[in-house]
Amino acid sequence: MRYQKRFLGLAILFFGLVCVGIAEDYHLQYFLTKISSQTNELSKNERIELLNRIDEVMRQAKQIHSKLIQAIQTGETEIRYQEGKFWMSKLEEDQASIENGIQQIKLLREKPTHLIASIKLYKSLKDLSSNFNAYNNMPSFSALVGDLAPEMELWADPVFYKLYLLPLAQLKDVEKGPPQKEKKPTPKVKKP
């Protein structure tokens, strides 16, 4: 009886470790290798996880965005008035892009094949990555932005574009197909 309990305990432990090992870790590196392996087809779970990861990146961008605004408004950074107005206008654009991106992610979770929502999300990601790269070039902002700018750029262009947007656009293109030609009825000629 004692050996059966040990065996059962070891079996449960073994299967528990196997289950943990089977669960995939969908990080940026996973999706980048998926692109390089030329298998651009994502499973339903991979699509959901891709949207979850992009949602995390958007939430990080929102946190950094609020830190940047706080740094400018409280005077923690050495910026002249005109430059501060310029950067604040950029940050206002970013706020709209972040809100739009989060809204599109929610829409894509409900309707994963919504092409317009995926295009809007891609545009939001590209705009944010461009602005965050500009912030990263400012010495006073680079400590706040960190590695998020290049990471966001990778999520936008190779990952989301090639694994989500492009296959979806190709799917929509195939669904429409060539337009059907209408058959013209042949006129009946009456014999006199």
In a domain, 182, yes or no: no
In a domain, 40, yes or no: no
pTM, 2 dp: 0.73
In a domain, 14, yes or no: no
State the residue range of the domain holding 117: 45-170
Question: DSSP labels for 12-73?
Answer: HHHHHHHHHHHS----HHHHHHHHHTT--PPPHHHHHHHHHHHHHHHHHHHHHHHHHHHHHH
Residue pLDDT, tens place only, 55-95: 999 999 999 999 988 888 888 887 777 777 888 888 899 99
Residue with the larger pLDDT of the pair 104 and 184: 104
In a domain, 108, yes or no: yes
| Model pLDDT, residue 12 | 57
**pLDDT of residue 10 exceeding 80:** no
Residue pLDDT, tens place only, 135-187: 888 888 888 888 888 889 888 888 888 888 888 888 876 555 444 555 555 66
Burial of residue 95 (number of CB atoms within 10 Å: 0-12, 13-18, 19+): middle
The CA distance from 92 to 67, in Å, is 13
In a domain, 11, yes or no: no
Number of structural domains the chain divides into:
1
In a domain, 9, yes or no: no
Report the CATH number that the domain containing residue 137 is assigned in CATH: 1.20.120
